Structure formats: structure tokens, C-alpha cells
Amino acid sequence: MTSPSLDRPRLLVVAGSAVAVLVAAALVVALLVVRAGSGGGAGAEEPFEPPAAEDGAAAAVAAGVDTVQEATYARERAAYPDRLRIPDLGVDAPVLPVKAPGRVLVPPRDPQQLGWWADGARPGAESGSALLVGHTVNGGGGALDDLETLDAGARVRVRADGTVLDYEVSTVQVYSKGRIARDAQRLFSQEAPGRLVLLTCEDWDGSGYLSNVVVVAEPV
């Protein structure tokens, strides 16, 4: 951040009330910048080329997500995921493809929208972690506000190319920023069997988020 003012929570006055809008979310993301499997099946288009990286290397990225930073969107294609549903949480959110210029992944500004990392695996791919990220809003209003309350066995549904893909939650874990960076290669592996990984912030301390929630779900 070049301006100290951008580090502070911003307030929006709505109907005479001060409502906290999306503040600086301390998402710490590790992206495997290697070629991912397309996972699109017959007739699927090839994925975008990922950023250049050392062969097989995992680059840990501190993705500072805030209200003034804009997401970088990938060009939408029919086979890409466009909606995520988590029935147990009442989540029914649109999904937009996002890229990670400079190895910084930023979800869409709208806290009710999610971002799918378009340089990683697609949902439904035979291999690779399909990574979906979203904001948590202090005070409520984010699509993934209650992600940490999911239980193992809960269902998650992703719509892509008119087809609904069903997943079952296998793990729900809260990681400190330091630990998620250390475990990045395992958590966001593009070599793992195909799966869905959901990521958001957790543990608001009054000025920022200290942790991240990582949900891993397996296809059913």
C-alpha cells in the first residue's frame, strides 16, 4: 500500500447507518504456477497459459485483498464454473474467473461474488485443486462469512457449462498466515486428484484478519 489511508476499514453510510464494508482481508494464498489440467472433458477449450515459473515450483503469495484493489478477470468461457452453492450455509453465489497478475490473487470486489483461479484446475478436472476464493465481511454480508462452520460430509455444488458437479467436504481447517504459506504446496496442489478448495479469511482482530479458512471437498 502506498497510502496509509488505504489500510483502514472504510465506512459506507446506508439509510443513516454506518455499515462496515469489506475491509482489508488478509488472505494469504499460495498458487502453484504450473500448467493445470483443463478438466473440461470432450469439446473443452484449453485453459489460459499460467504465469511462468520454475518447473514444479510452488510460489507462496501474500494476496493483500482490500476494498480499493480491483480483481483482474479472465475472459469467460462456457466451460468455466459460474455458480457455487453450499446448501448447509444458504450460499448461492456467482463465480467469476480471476487471474493473479504479479502472483496476487484478488477476489471480485462484490462480497457476494466468488473468484475462481482461472490458471488452476477447473472443477471436474481429473487432477488439480480447483481454487475458489471469496471475501469475508466483518459484520456480515460476505458469501463465505460462515465457511468455518461447515462440517465434514456437507455437500458443495458447482455449476459449469450447464452441468452441476457435486462435492463432499472432507476437511475444514483454519490456518494462520504463516502456516498456510508453509502448507501451500499440499493445500493447493495441481498434482493432487481433482478436488475443490474454498478459501476465505477468518479471525478479525479489529484491524485485519489473522487466519484463513480452507475447505477441501472431494467429487462424489
0.85 surpassed by pTM: no
DSSP strands (E only) in 52-124: 59-62, 81-86, 91-98, 114-117
Identify the pLDDT of residue 73.
66
Kindly give the pairing relationship between strand 17-20 and strand 28-31: unpaired
Please list the residues that pair with 115 across neighbouring strands.
96, 133
* pLDDT tens digits along 163-217: 999 999 999 999 987 888 788 888 889 999 999 999 998 888 888 888 899 999 9
CATH code of the region 82-219: 2.40.260.10
